[in-house]
Structure 1
């Protein structure tokens, strides 16, 4: 198990904590990467973001529209599996 004590620092109008490089290397997190944070069971869980960069020309609402379409035609799509 890895362990480190850190102080909470003021960074602009926010507060921040630095992480030992060894911790970040284990998570394959590098400078400039995006992370996800979750507060669960009175703990902060940090993960490397799985965010996908969209190819040029695809709008940011693409996945919203796709999700709506899949929900609308869910039964039809499931029916195609049996054909």
Structure 2
């Protein structure tokens, strides 16, 4: 039995143990509202003490750019993030 309570535009769920982690299940109404189905990726945005859940937008890579290249670029940006930010201040 799932613990859920729907009050107007609000849905509440209880945090449950899933293996060594904690998790929350999402009611069908929430998934339908967000257009999320099994296998979709989601994005969490943190703002002012709240978390905003969104369906992750599908990225269409330009011709000639593969996913491995983007992964390497992201790794480089993460590694040199502070350096890049300090260049902005110059």
Report how many residues are paired: 65
Higher strand fraction: Structure 1 or Structure 2?
Answer: 2
For structure 2, list consecutive stretches of 5 or more residues without a partner in the other structure. 1-7, 78-90
Scaled by the length of structure 1, the TM-score of the pair is 0.62
Give CA-to-partner distance per residue, 1:9-49, whole Å, 9 cap, x none. Answer: 11112111111111111110001100001221111110101
Scaled by the length of structure 2, the TM-score of the pair is 0.58
Max radius of gyration: which structure? 1
Moved over 3 A (4+): none
Q: Cα RMSD over matched residues?
A: 2.8
8 A Cα contact 1:38 1:45, kept in partner: yes
